Amino acid sequence: MAKSLKQRLAILSDAAKYDASCASSGTQRRDSSASGGLGSTEGMGICHAYAPDGRCISLLKILLTNFCLYDCVYCVNRSSSNVERARFSAEEVVWLTLEFYRRNYIEGLFLSSGIIRSSDYTMEQLVRVAKDLRTLHNFRGYIHLKTIPEASPQLIEEAGLYADRLSINIELPTDQGIEQFAPQKHPARIRRSMSDLSLKIEAAKEPTLKTKRRQRFAPGGQSTQMIVGVDGATDATILGSSVDLYSRFRLRRVYYSAFSPIPDASSALPLSRPPLMREHRLYQADWLYRFYGFNVAEITSVRADGNLELDIDPKLAWALANRDRFPVDVNRAEKEMLLRVPGLGTTSVPSILSARRHKRLRLDDLERLHVSVRKVRPFIMAEGWSPLRLTDRTDLRELFAPKPKQLSLFG
Amino acid sequence: MIRLCLRGRGDLAEWRDAARALLRAGVGPGNVEWQVRDAGADLFGLADDPLPPADPALPAPTVPSAFLTLADAVICHRDPARFALLYRLLWRVQGERALLSIPSDPDVARAEMLEKAIRRDAHKMKAFVRFKEMGAPRDGRRRFAAWFEPDNFIVGRTAGFFQRRFTDMDWIIATPKGSAAWDGQTLTLSDEPSEKPNLIDDTDDLWRTYFAHIFNPARLKVQAMQSQMPKKYWKNLPEADLIPDLIAGAEDRMRDMIDREATQPRPFHYRIRERE
């Protein structure tokens, strides 16, 4: 019996939820006041709802179809899985996007697909949805398209014309991991596609000689996703791989997705799942690399095994391992060093720099800047405050780490 | 002591006019009592004291543009002390030119906190307004209505966002703190409290389906959800009444996924693999 639109929506959202990205920020600013159409992007992304997994719902994130020729072990849609299959027509996705958008449920569409027939055929379908939204319906909301690595350059070109963001998932942090768990995917080709995208995105930022106008190509850049905990890669390997991607292909984001139980899982998957905290620590480390001036080796060399601490965050772990760099004087230290103080961040550091031009800061001044004085106190000097022996205390870690759970005798 | 009553519904002009006159007359912040006019105040005959005349000996007041931006947001806050806070800042900034760049100053810190609350309130309005369709299109335009309950008087400053985004449809956003309506030509604002419209939209059912199925039961993080989508918003979100059951069933669903034996692939899998 044919499945209703609602039944297929259920299947194809279930199939899409393992892609972590839902970002709708970082593209050009535009709206419909001149066109009289529908949709806008005004810089900041908007999360229109949150699911009980704590994740932001910003986009209608669905697959065009979850039929797939590939058999990637970790994937809910692999060809050997027995999950229910379904398919939308391009018109149905267009309709759902517009109707959801009009009710202000979403910022736009994140469309991906299982590979059916051929890479080009699949990519053509995705591009058609984006093209119809833009050209037939005057839609100016956000569009994120998954690109199929093997698709032809003309299709990618067209995708970039209509989409805000394009992405190709690298899937696993090492080439061996990809070959083992995603046998139909080819790491070299994935990187080649990312490199092509990055060149096109950069080229489109330059005004052309002929027209002096910028061409449109994925103004929101490209992103990718890595699954954590399927292969044996350490955090140092994972983050090293991210840095490589950030620097070579200028990715906007690398998403980390702790592999989680899926319906009808393959027996080739590891039995234990990584703790969700590991994913969280990877994001924190990624942030330290991108916005706090840390390099990855500093963050991942705290432990001998190349993994991040789970019970304390990577910035605190670095500070505890580098106590000779503290205390930092909030009234004199350079911005770079202030950013390295556990408890100070990219919001509070500019406030401190601004305020200290006019007065010497005390702890209660920091409190008014919404700094947690309890957290920063051991690491800083301020007017009327120096931490004395605090940075040398051997139990400093215990002041921050969560209380260890007592082992149960009967566990 | 000069007592002034303002409507206090997010309109900067009424406060600005009064504040400018007080400043020109040299009335210090300690000599003004600001009040919010409400129905009760009118009944008891509370009225503005007349504004004092300008003192020609005083220099012309300076108002940095950063102050106006800050005041434009802070005035929308429901805190009854906002008028006095802004006047104190305005008074001080005449002598302390750098005041606004000292975020650790108690008055500046308080004003920035109110400004942040306004930004957050407006952001949540952009996120959580839910339009419902009102019957058939009229004159070729589809018509929608929404009910939203903001904490502060932010409808006016947020309406432009909806106008720029939902340009090709008619809409009205009704709230207890005013309303905004767009008909393709004119944006109409009101600061009068609105009634909650009673509308049913079938598309909400598809949205609820999406919400339930994009949720991953193996990653339950209720705190993270609630810190971003506090319960006070739930009653106007069509998807929110699904949340308790999704949370309650999550652990069983996850255990079921982990415990289930691996299955045999279907025939099409083998056909595809043979072709490789």
pLDDT tens for A128-181 read: 999 999 999 999 999 999 998 889 999 999 999 999 999 999 999 999 999 999
Cα A37 versus chain centre, distance: 30
For chain A, what are the domain ranges? 5-274, 322-400
Task: Give the model confidence (pLDDT) of B102-154 as tens digits.
Answer: 999 999 999 999 999 999 999 999 999 999 999 999 999 999 999 999 999 99
Task: From the options 3.20.20.480, 3.30.300.10, 3.20.20.70, 3.40.47.10, give the CATH code of A5-274.
Answer: 3.20.20.70
Per-domain residue ranges of chain B: 2-122, 129-190, 203-259
CA distance A120 to A243: 30
Interface test with B, best of A11, A41, A47, A104 (most B CBs within 10 A): A104
Q: What is the pLDDT of residue A264?
A: 87
Is A69 in Cβ contact with B131 (below 8 Å)? no
Best B97, B102, B104 residue to mutate vs chain A (most A CBs within 10 Å): B104
Question: Cβ contacts of residue A103 below 8 Å, gap of 6+?
Answer: B130, B131, B132, B133, B144, B201, B203, B204, B207
CB contact under 8 A, A365 and B273: no
Hey, of B121, B183, B185, B213, which one would you mutate to test binding to chain A, going by the most A CBs within 10 A of its CB? B213
B169, B219, B264 ranked by CB distance to A276: nearest: B219
How far apart CA A257 and CA A238 sit, in angstroms, is 12
Averaged pLDDT, A279-303: 96
A369 touches chain B (CB under 8 A): yes
Distance from CA of A38 to the nearest CA of B (A): 5
* Residue A69 and residue A18 in contact, taking contact as beta carbons nearer than 8 Å: no
Partner residue facing A361 (CB), from B104, B184, B246 = B104
Give tens-digit pLDDT for A357-392: 999 999 999 999 999 999 999 999 999 999 876 666
CB within 8 Å of chain B, chain A residues 264-293: 264-267, 273, 276
CB A24, CB A82: distance < 8 Å: no
User: Model confidence over A200-240: pLDDT tens digits?
Assistant: 999 888 776 666 566 789 999 999 999 999 888 999 999 99
Residues in chain B closer than 8 A to A10 (CB atoms): 209, 212-213
Give the model's confidence band at A411: pLDDT under 50 very low, under 70 low, under 90 confident, else very high.
very low
Contact across the interface for A366 and B104, Cβ inside 8 Å: yes
Q: Select the residue of A46, A60, A102 nearest B131 (Cβ to Cβ).
A: A102
Residues of chain A contacting B98 with CB distance shorter than 8 Å:
357-358
- Phi and psi at residue B172, to the nearest 5°: -135, 135
What gap in Å lies between CA A105 and CA A335, rounded to an integer?
Answer: 40
**Per-residue confidence at A1, pLDDT binned at 50, 70, 90?**
confident
B225/A61 touch (CB, cutoff 8 Å), yes or no: no
Q: Say what the pLDDT of residue A212 is.
A: 59
